[in-house]
Structure 1
Amino acid sequence: MNLRQIEVFRAVVTSGTTSRAAEMLRISQPSVSKTIQDLERSIGFPVFDRIKGRLRPTAEGQLFFREVEHVFAGLAHLRGAAARIRDFGSGELRVASLSALSTNVIPHALSALTSKNPGVAITFQTHMSSVVRDHVASGQFDVGVVSDEIDKIGVETRPFARFRAWIAVPEGHPLEARAVIRPADLVNQPFIALSPEDTTRQQAEAALDAEDVKLSIILETPYATTICAMVAAGLGVGLVDPLTAELFKGRGLVLRPFEPEVHFRTLLILPPHRPASRIVEDFIAELFHTLEETGKFGGGFSC
């Protein structure tokens, strides 16, 4: 059995006659008949009944045709994949990111990318940086955006964004009146903290320790969006990045600069030992372009 025999068999079933099948395939009618006979000999059962000069699929032929349709559906998928690969490199883009940039920079970059490459298939997921790192290292995703505390072994890393951290406080909170919030201002304040392994939290705690200030932590989370939501709900104050907090301004949250300055630092990561496709490099270029366009990074960003 070969693919040509399958193709002829499918053409006869869908067209109803060998003559129409021959027209569809641009071969002779005797060639169609011979190919069907060769197929039946190969698979060991008849696929058609010959009734008054017409071919009707046998019960076995109908079952076989169902399987043939699965094969042709797979071939159609392969043709589509080949077209995407021709046009876009990999044909698809799989992106994973930490939460902080998932509601701002990455959506804008993806929008710009798809406007130039409307046929590319995109998968996007948000996870903790350690999970993003594992997904990229295993090759499940093509590119990731993570905080800089990840284990860098097993991934290719590129510096991405560096931006100043701010203190988010609920609207109407006494700290809203401060132009700048300093460590002493956080004494006895209910504090919503980033995870202990977060390097920005570690920087902040070093600054607090230098002034012998201990935080009153009531909740820990790896997600800046969660901190913003908790602050907006009035649970306490927290250290956040300005991009994530932008979505919550005017919705129960205000931002104040924290001094001494501490910064969020992020990395782009790629699977090791695998050249990036054109669509991946185009996406990375859009990410950096989006950073340049926002102009919202206190302290700037490095790349």
Structure 2
Amino acid sequence: MGASIIADMLNLRQLEILRAVVQYRTTVGAAERLGMSQPSISNTIRHIETVLGFPLFERVSNRLAPTEEALILLEESEPLFLLRDAVNQRAADLRAGRIGRIRVASTAEISEAVLPRVIADYARDYPRIQISLETRPLDSVLQVVENGVADVAFVIAAYERQALHYELVHDLRAVCLCDEADPLARLEVVTPKDLAERPMVGPQVANRIGLMFADSFRANGLDYRPSIETRFMNAAARIVREGWGVALVDELSAFTAMRPGLVVRPYGPDLRFDLSAALPRTKTPSRQTQRFIKAFRDRVVTRIAEVRAASQRPQG
């Protein structure tokens, strides 16, 4: 008699009562174990015997000895109990947040500057959580959250989309990355006029951050014309790290590319970009996603504090 056939004839609670009586050899002991009354146990056993059409116990010296049929029945039903226990354990793990998955998307700047440390720490703390990371341009990152491919996206200076809700994580300041021997390194604040005619690398005007830099130049009567344009600010910072020019980037990208001999100076006017978590507007984020966002925010707050402390004083 297979487990599926047993399940069609008897429910799991009836099988559990049968197992308890076999274990304790008395209906009283089974009743205490299951928190039921003794008459309920006896009635259930009689009902099972009626359904099956054969006896399950013989009374021997005031104890109930299981028949061979009862033992075979319990052996066949054991997979049902194992499955129940596994489901209960999985439910407990889910409730405690020990298992699950998190699908994360971000632009390249965040994937390089913050997420590796956050993901590594999270994976150590929750080894049974499956984490995936998609690194894409801003439009694509927002789209994968809208389409349900990602649970959350971390983005800089995102624009409004009807299907998305943005949870502010931190504001990022615009900075100038340059060589410590460059005259810019001795300035308290680097302005568009200081960058005029300089070999500069920065975000392309085709994206929002590039437009924000262009507006700040235009307000000073200057054109924003980087000699080298990049889609992602971490790429701009890496070019300066390799020894060419100066870069206008966000502070996280600048410090990710730091090496001995480079410095970061504040950019003026005070230009800031929102670093946000993008979430579906119509779906409540899972507890795992909420916990990951908190871990991300905590890491960003710590990192920004380190970044700003290191860039307070000019060189020389």
Bigger mean CA offset, 225-234 vs 241-250: 241-250
CA deviations over 1:266-293 (Å, ceiling 9, x no partner): 2211123222111111111212222333
Q: Deviations over 1:60-85 (max 9, x none)?
A: xxxxxxxxxxxxxxx9xx97x95664
Q: CA deviation at 1:4?
A: 4.4
Which of 68, 75, 97 is 1:26 aligned to? 75
Q: 1:202 to 1:90 in 2, by over 3 A?
A: farther
Corresponding pairs, count = 234
Deviates more, 1:136-145 or 1:98-107: 98-107
The counterpart of 2:217, out of the listed 208, 225, 229, is 208
Establish whether residue 274 from structure 1 lines up as the match of residue 283 from structure 2.
Answer: yes
Give the SS at the match of 1:165.
strand
> Could you tell me how far 1:227 is from its partner in structure 2?
0.4
Take 1:296 and 1:130, find their aligned partners in 2: how far apart are those partners?
30
Q: Which amino acid is 2:256 matched to?
A: L
Q: 2: distance between equivalents of 1:247 and 1:209?
A: 29
User: Within 5 A, what are the aligned runs for 1:1-303?
Assistant: 4=4, 26-27=75-76, 85=94, 87-88=96-97, 91-251=100-260, 253-294=262-303, 295-296=305-306
Report how far residue 120 of structure 1 moved.
0.5
Quote how far apart the aligned CAs of 1:118 are.
2.1
Match of 1:50 in 2: none
Deviations 1:84-116 (A, max 9, x none): 645538710111112222233323333443343
State the AA in 2 paired with 1:123: S
- Native 8 Å contact 2:202 2:233 kept in 1: no
Cα 1:149–1:122, aligned 2, differ >3 Å: closer, same or farther?
closer
State the Cα deviation string for residues 227-247 of structure 1 (Å, max 9, x = none).
Answer: 011112233222112222213
Output the amino acid matched with 1:282: R
Report the AA paired with residue 122 of structure 1: I
| Runs of 4+ with >6 A deviation | none
How far off its partner does 1:259 sit?
1.3
Partners of 2:255 and 2:306 in 1: CA distance: 10
CA pair 259-142 structure 1, distance change in 2 beyond 3 A: same
Distance 1:174 1:234 in 2: 15
Name the amino acid aligned to 1:168.
L
**TM-score, normalization by structure 1:** 0.66
- Structure 2, unmatched stretches of 5+, are 6-70, 78-82, 310-316
Q: Percent identity?
A: 25
SS in 2 for 1:291: helix
RMSD of equivalent CA atoms: 3.3
Structure number with greater Rg is: 2
The two structures have a TM-score, normalised by structure 2, of 0.64
| Residues 211, 230 of structure 1: alpha-carbon distance in 2 compared, 3 angstrom cutoff | same
Alpha-carbon contact 1:170-1:254 (below 8 Å) kept = yes
Bigger shift: residues 244-253 or 290-299: 290-299
Displacement of 1:188 in angstroms is 0.9
Between 209-218 and 103-112, the greater mean CA deviation after superposition: 103-112
